[in-house]
Amino acid sequence: MSRTLARQLHIHHNTVSQAYTDVTALQLLSRRQGSRLVVRTPEARADMRHPDMDDLINQTIRVARSYGYSIQELSRRVSERLAEEPPDHILVLSSESWDAPAFAARGRKRRQMPRKGLFAPRS
């Protein structure tokens, strides 16, 4: 299939094969038995489960390597990006009684992040 299309478009068959791989990774196509590719409907894409985190990491490593980036460079850049991200939660420790739901509601309005609190029992 990719060789025929490559000949029609006057491009290398690896280019077509990589395009199919990329479009499949975007979940616009799905592979069926053999080498058959099927276009996914928007409904089918919406029903799909989230990809496994390990699969996402592995795909990122493969793509980075294919562009010539080293694992060390990828690791450094990911660490930099994660350090720039705001925290996705905060932890509040208190020995005093206070209105935790009101505090959490105010905080969510400001930063839109979940909060959890641990409260020490009063002695």
The pLDDT of residue 66 is above 90: yes
| Confidence at 99, pLDDT banded by 50, 70, 90 | low
Q: Please tell me the predicted confidence (pLDDT) of residue 74.
A: 94
User: How far is Cα 62 from Cα 69, in angstroms, rounded to an integer?
Assistant: 10
Interval 25-52 mean pLDDT: 75
The whole-chain average pLDDT of the chain stands at 76
Look up the pTM and report it: 0.38
For the stretch 69-80, pLDDT in tens is 999 999 999 999
Work out whether strand 29-31 and strand 37-39 pair parallel, antiparallel, or are unpaired: antiparallel
Neighbours of 78 (CB within 10 A): 13
Cα angle vertex 26, ends 53, 55, to 5°? 20
pLDDT, residue 97, reads 61
Intra-chain end-to-end CA distance of the chain, in Å: 75
